[in-house]
């Protein structure tokens, strides 16, 4: 995807290209929601979640561990926040599970 100019068509094409991988360690779009008609302040609403098949399988086995989702303005893509989600194990070590690219922060970005 050309990073010089953002548009939702390119984002959809990118998400579709990474949504069908069968390699358990390859990047995989596990969820996407791109809504041109739900624009706020002229910016379409979107959320794209990227992980791997293996990380998703491991997370399913560890449901009793706390899930954390956090974002920082130091990690952005074209001005949009990139959130990181993962779990903390019994030894208090954080294990990342996915990255989320979101257009608007709020409760829905974390669900």
Among 10-19, 79-88, 95-104, name the most confident range: 10-19
49, 39, 36: which is closest to 86 by C-alpha? 49
Q: State the pLDDT at residue 13.
A: 92
Tell me what percent of the residues of the chain surpass a pLDDT of 90.
10
Alpha-carbon distance values, 74 to 18, 39, 40, 55, 71 (Å): 25, 24, 23, 24, 9
Are 31 and 46 within 8 A, CB to CB? no
């Amino acid at each position: 995807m050309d990073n010089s100019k953002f548009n939702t068509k390119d984002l959809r094409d990118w998400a579709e290209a990474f949504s069908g991988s069968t390699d358990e360690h390859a990047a995989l779009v596990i969820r996407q929601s791109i809504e041109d008609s739900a624009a706020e302040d002229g910016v379409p609403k979107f959320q794209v979640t990227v992980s791997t098949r293996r990380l998703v399988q491991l997370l399913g086995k560890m449901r009793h561990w706390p899930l954390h989702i956090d974002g920082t303005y130091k990690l952005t893509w074209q001005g949009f926040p990139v959130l990181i989600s993962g779990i903390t194990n019994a030894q208090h070590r954080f294990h990342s599970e996915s990255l989320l690219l979101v257009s608007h922060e709020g409760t829905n970005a974390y669900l």
